[in-house]
Amino acid sequence: MSGLHKFNIYKVRGFTKNINGINEIHLKGKRLDLIGNYILRGQILILPVRGDGAANVTIINPNIHLIFTGSPSIVEGKTYMQTYDLKVTFSVDRLIFHFDNLYNGDKALGDTTNRFINEYWRDIYLEIKPSLLRTFEEQIQVIANTAMAKLPFDEYFLK
């Protein structure tokens, strides 16, 4: 995941002195790139697709809403917040997909399939959104817990 560090947080709720409370963060950004490897064996809409290799899914203008419950984690006598039950919702203006090595590297079929996927991105987005959200939740949870492990919870508040 690349680009999250450039997002703006525009709304925060929760983060009271009760570490076990429900917290919300709303953020916006211009673009978020999900880069990794893929394996496709099946169908996208009506198109049979197969391949494996590098993939890039670019999310344009994502608006992300995180909601989670805090939980105490004690390290060397200091209490840190950890997240659990993290849920993510988001809206996007556009997705841009690119899959390398479709059809065992057949460039003509691969280029045609990538064009088709990008032409019908909205339908594909609706089809893959549940698994995309689960993956995003897992990644955001790791990022959030890593960030929260840097500052003890009682230092979140002015004295």
Q: Which domains does the chain have, with CATH numbers?
A: 4-156 (3.15.10.30)
Q: Is the pLDDT of residue 112 over 90?
A: yes
pLDDT tens profile 114-143:
999 999 999 999 988 998 899 889 989 999
For residues 27 and 73, what is the distance between their CA atoms, to the nearest angstrom? Answer: 25
Who has greater pLDDT, 12 or 42?
Answer: 12
Q: What is the pLDDT of residue 4?
A: 78
pLDDT of res. 159: 66
For the chain, how many helices (H) and strands (E)?
Answer: 2, 7
Contact 92, 61 (CB under 8 A): yes
Phi-psi region of 156 (alpha: psi -120 to 50; beta: other; left: phi over 0): alpha
Q: Taking the C-alpha atoms of 45, 3, 143 and 12 in order, what is their torsion angle to the nearest 10 degrees?
A: -100
Strand segments (E) across the chain: 8-13, 22-28, 31-44, 47-60, 63-75, 78-91, 94-99
This prediction has a pTM of 0.82
The pair of structure tokens assigned to 24 is 């919300």
